[in-house]
Structure 1
Amino acid sequence: MRRLNRRLVLSVLGVLWIAALLLYLGTRKRLEGVGPGGQLQTPKGSDIDWDDLWDQFEERKYLSARRWKGGEDPYRLYAFNQRESERIPSDRAIRDTRHHRCTTLHYSSDLPPTSIIITFHNEARSTLLRTVRSVLNRTPVHLVHEIILVDDFSDDSDDCRLLIKLPKVKCLRNRKREGLIRSRIRGADVAQAGVLTFLDSHCEVNKDWLLPLLQRIKEDPTHVVSPVIDIINLDTFAYVAASSDLRGGFDWSLHFKWEQLSPKQKAKRTDPTEPIKTPIIAGGLFVIDKAWFNHLGKYDAAMDIWGGENFEISFRVWMCGGSLEIIPCSRVGHVFRKKHPYTFPEGNANTYIKNTKRTAEVWMDEYKQYYYAARPAAQGRPYGDIQSRVELRKSLKCHSFKWYLENVYPELRIPEESLYQTGMIRQRQRCLETQKSEGQDSPVVILNPCITSKGAAAAAQEWTYTYNQQVRYQKLCLSIQTLFPGSQVVLLPCREGDGKQRWNKVGSHIEHMATRYCLDTEMVGDTNENMREVVINPCESTAMSQRWEMVMS
């Protein structure tokens, strides 16, 4: 009997010990304390079964908030098709869009882990969750130190807070709207890993996306690397492969664009898995060594909300000793929206001008004149104190912008050297000419027989096509006064940035940029073929009156 009682006691103690252990683990899983600065603490999760955490996460309840309702505009809240996003599972399968050679590559076994930083403001819960879940599903566990969500003062704090039940996820909430730039700085400051990975909140990472990025950082910490950014269609949410022959580029107004590699650059690329040097990154998705990020001065914290920060950090990386690369074997899908679903306190255009003007003033040296010529609205606009950024550039002993143009982006043509072209604008045997009669305030534009000899008469047919797409005669520019077909082309004082004065040569047509109509001539009256006025009309490929030759020297 005594032995039976002893066994019974031991059994009870064993049950109590197991119950206590389960209670302890359950408490750890549900731990959601609020720390200083609004930081939500989460369990470390390294020894917790991820499947158990997913089981505890109430996905259906999380996604039920602010769901699209029949009859509503599905684009109203987020500027993409909310209805379609909510129909797609959070863990949907996507096609591996890499080149087949990527699957044969081998990476170091000791790659550094990374802190993944995702900032958002009023993001759709369906896309935010899909972003996080794609990272957890398609990334080796040991390479994700943490996923830091920075909630930039969204209307509903639960958008972020409820996600800390997921593995590796932490949440920071701003006490006021700070914008992407300052939010990313905050996330980077608390990140514990030695490598930072910045993602947007409407992405889906593809298979083995992180390994090739970390490999380049391990090989050289001054590499700043970006994946090939695939396209998630904003209407259907179809995942579409992007070309791997693209790199980032821009014009003098600091407008980002994707550009094809030149035939010469393509010929040099014998291996499609090799990194692509890029003058600029899109900015939403990239990986950088944390010590290098801090050494370079993080982001310019005086920039507001969003826009232009990718130029500033790209110029700084290249000019101060680093490099930018696109890694073809890393693929991440991204929803590209046509407009911003959120508001900018000072307006979208004003914010972008402020941010890019700070970039031009600090980094572009004497070449900033071309920025102002291409973006005249920036003249006289306030842009804050830049002294600390100027001093940063000096302390880092960075190269000049001239060096950047010569060594990184020689394809960006310098306006004064290459795009002021002077000559005649000819239609068969007749040329555009300026003619001023007595009593007229300014000359008119007519067609007259071309003059090949020098002299005052020939000077009236001499036009200058400028780098910002104006057609000038001395200080006057070809312009229109109304935007309707048949509107007469006139000469008006040149004004930088005036859309009515911008023209583009497209084949044999000269296209008016604002209207997309073509330079044309029409008879004055019914009888005299020689009397023709210069107008704009809808473009017609067969219209002889719309065919022009710009004979420029």
Structure 2
Amino acid sequence: MLFSVKNSRGCFKRAMQVSKRNWLCLILIFLLYLSLTNISQVTYKKNGSSVSYDKSLHSNWMFKISKNYDYIYLREWTEPTKVIVSVSSGRGENGTAFVPTSDEKPIMEKRLKEQHYNVLASEKMSLRRSLPDYRFPECRSLIYPKKLPTATVIIVVHNEIWATLLRTVWSIIDRSPRELIEEIIIVDDASTWTHLKQPLDDYAKTLPANIKIMRTENREGLIRARIKGANMAKGNILIFLDAHIECTEGWLQPILSRIAWDRSVVAVPLIDGISTENMGYQKFPLEINGLHWSLIFDWMPVPEREIIRTKHDRTAPLRTPTHIGCAFAMDREFFFEIGSYDEGMDIWGSENVELAWRTWMCGGSLEILPCSRVAHLFRSSTYSFDGNAEQIKTRNNNRLIEVWMDEFKNRIYAAYPRTKSVSPGDLTQRKNLRKQLNCKSFRWYLENIYPESAWFKEFINMGSIKNVAENKCLDAYTIKISQNLMTYSCHNVGGAQFFAFSTSGQIMTFRDPCVGIGSDKKSVVVVKCSETDKSQFWDYKQEEKWIVHRESNLCMTKHENRIIIDTCNPFDNKFKWELKSGA
């Protein structure tokens, strides 16, 4: 007979009340209690000791589902057998880059231009190529519970290259404990390529895994297609993967173990890269994800506060403000209880940020697991959809900020004034969801999860900076570090002409770098923001309309085709600047 942990605790309590003559029964029940607790309260273990950093940011468990899985839902597993099926040429093995022959170069370049990555390289490599193991040495010594919940892997496909898709599938099969993969669901979102029809069905039947293929009648887009896959799933945990990734050794166990310990965790593997130029495996550093003013995710160093919280342990889950969205996992019931995705969003874009904010603000957590590594092909998008793509993405963004950003939404509109005119559509359901879940404020999110965010600062102005003499605006155009600033005709649409002038004296650009001084001590350039770098602080003199460099006491001015600092001149309008609000 199988006991749940809840039942075993009750049994243990009753056993404590029996007479001393039943000491043997007591010991047996106590041992059962320990074993079941060890199974249910799954966590990383090192040298026999539990490792946990779960100082919750939330005061209580607010969900209908239980925090941990019942014992009966866990499944025993064994390590997958290492399988390497390489091509005779050995191309791509161990994640190496593809090197074309002279005969291959013309077709390679043609197809690279068409698909935005090296399709020929993908086709010349084994579908089951070997990959390097870039896990930290500490990760390889971790021991995971003998029983774990099962997973359904969901892959949305629209006109994906055969070799790239199947390499994704094979990497899951070959590097995952077979017992823990309940199924792999491929959602074909109205593909038009013939190899994704009957040939894919036939090939799937030959695979040593439970492969299910579902097809949408009409284009749904990534967001709604993922929901369709989730509705069909039977595994305890949903793992959403792009159709152009490769899983590495040991990628699955940390994910399942972490969620089994706490079902409100959204677990994200450490993302590595696959080169679009040659399909070579690229090791990425250990970082977490933040956001630009444009609401596009960005990599950011692990904050010191997080290093201290995890006691400098490189195996510990890291709290991250957001995530890229190409690979993540969460409990199936939790996914639906917390609102799945916003079905009012189209294609893709903003759905990853919306999920991250909703998770944090509504009682869950979003974590990067350093011991789980998945490589992603960062190609230019080929994901087509009816309608204007920019308009659709703007609408997605507006749905995100109108539901979740509270008063901070005006900061986004200041950076991109024209986006405010795009209707987000009906938000009633999503706003009601936020109320039902009793979610925290966006200010709470910034204070507790993302204090490094530029949005957490106070500003004297957010908008454009216009030079009085020539009636042109300061422009950061490419946002490359050390790049000189220039002036350009004011276009009033934000972007490269958006500058957020903080009360502390920093001037931030639309992609978060700041305005500072170049190595020549004269040129005004784009620099990496730093609170300790005195050379990037400024003051605005309202009466004189001067932007004064605090450290040198010189003024910003236009000189020929670049911006410099020079001795302030009250008689030269080139030294005068007007701050225009974009809100």
TM-score (norm 2): 0.65
Distance change in 2, residues 1:72/1:80 (3 Å):
closer
Give a deviation string over 1:300-339, Cα, whole Å, max 9, x none.
11100111101111111001100000000000011011x2
2:218 alignment counterpart: 176
In structure 1, what is the Cα distance between the partners aligned to 2:218 and 2:105?
27
Give a deviation string over 1:458-484, Cα, whole Å, max 9, x none.
xxxxxxxx445636779x76358x99x
**What's the offset of the Cα at 1:497?**
1.0
In structure 1, what is the Cα distance between the partners aligned to 2:441 and 2:468?
35
1:162 alignment counterpart: 202
Q: Does 1:392 align with 2:433?
A: yes
Distance change in 2, residues 1:106/1:496 (3 Å):
same
Q: Does 1:367 align with 2:413?
A: no
Which among 485, 489, 505 is matched to residue 515 of structure 2? 505
Give a deviation string over 1:319-367, Cα, whole Å, max 9, x none.
1100000000000011011x21232322332221111110101111111
Per mean C-alpha deviation after superposition, the further-off stretch among 177-186 and 267-276 is: 267-276
Which among 383, 388, 399 is matched to residue 347 of structure 1? 388
Give a deviation string over 1:420-449, Cα, whole Å, max 9, x none.
3xxxxxxxxxxxxxxxxxxxxxxxxxxxxx
Question: Does the residue aligned with 1:470 lie in a helix, a strand or coil?
Answer: strand
Give a deviation string over 1:231-274, Cα, whole Å, max 9, x none.
11111111111111x11100333121111123454355421100
Residues 91-490 of structure 1: pairs in structure 2 closer than 5 A:
91-156=128-193, 158-159=195-196, 160-165=200-205, 166=207, 167-244=209-286, 246-268=287-309, 269-337=311-379, 339-414=380-455, 417-420=457-460, 466-468=461-463, 470=465, 478-479=473-474
Structure 2, unmatched stretches of 5+, are: 1-79, 86-103, 479-483, 500-508, 528-555, 569-574, 578-583
**What's the offset of the Cα at 1:211?**
0.1
The answer to whether the 8 A contact 2:463-2:497 is kept is: no
Per mean C-alpha deviation after superposition, the further-off stretch among 302-311 and 346-355 is: 346-355
In structure 1, what is the Cα distance between the partners aligned to 2:359 and 2:567?
43
The answer to whether the 8 A contact 2:416-2:495 is kept is: no
The answer to whether the 8 A contact 2:515-2:526 is kept is: no
Question: Does the residue aligned with 1:132 lie in a helix, a strand or coil?
Answer: helix
Distance change in 2, residues 1:257/1:140 (3 Å):
same
In structure 2, what is the Cα distance between the partners aligned to 1:183 and 1:330?
25
Question: Does the residue aligned with 2:111 lie in a helix, a strand or coil?
Answer: coil
In structure 1, what is the Cα distance between the partners aligned to 2:465 and 2:420?
19
In structure 1, what is the Cα distance between the partners aligned to 2:223 and 2:466?
39
**What's the offset of the Cα at 1:68?**
11
In structure 2, what is the Cα distance between the partners aligned to 1:301 and 1:209?
30
Q: Does 1:78 align with 2:115?
A: yes
In structure 1, what is the Cα distance between the partners aligned to 2:335 and 2:127?
32
The answer to whether the 8 A contact 1:375-1:497 is kept is: yes
Give a deviation string over 1:192-244, Cα, whole Å, max 9, x none.
11110000000100001000000011000001100000111111111111111
In structure 2, what is the Cα distance between the partners aligned to 1:82 and 1:498?
34
**What's the offset of the Cα at 1:110?**
1.1
Question: Does the residue aligned with 1:118 lie in a helix, a strand or coil?
Answer: strand
Question: Does the residue aligned with 1:224 lie in a helix, a strand or coil?
Answer: strand
Per mean C-alpha deviation after superposition, the further-off stretch among 346-355 and 127-136 is: 346-355
In structure 1, what is the Cα distance between the partners aligned to 2:147 and 2:567?
62
The answer to whether the 8 A contact 1:344-1:351 is kept is: no
**What's the offset of the Cα at 1:418?**
3.1
Structure 1, unmatched stretches of 5+, are: 1-49, 56-66, 421-465, 514-531, 539-544
Question: Does the residue aligned with 1:148 lie in a helix, a strand or coil?
Answer: strand
**What's the offset of the Cα at 1:75?**
1.8
**What's the offset of the Cα at 1:548?**
5.7
Distance change in 2, residues 1:290/1:536 (3 Å):
farther
The answer to whether the 8 A contact 1:107-1:211 is kept is: yes
Question: Does the residue aligned with 1:75 lie in a helix, a strand or coil?
Answer: helix
**What's the offset of the Cα at 1:507?**
2.7
TM-score (norm 1): 0.68
In structure 1, what is the Cα distance between the partners aligned to 2:203 and 2:247?
18
Distance change in 2, residues 1:469/1:106 (3 Å):
farther
Residues 20-99 of structure 1: pairs in structure 2 closer than 5 A:
70=107, 73-99=110-136
**What's the offset of the Cα at 1:371?**
1.4
Question: Does the residue aligned with 1:351 lie in a helix, a strand or coil?
Answer: helix
Alignment-mate amino acid for residue 251 of structure 1:
H
1:429 alignment counterpart: none
**What's the offset of the Cα at 1:377?**
2.7
What is the RMSD computed on CA atoms of the aligned residues?
A: 3.4
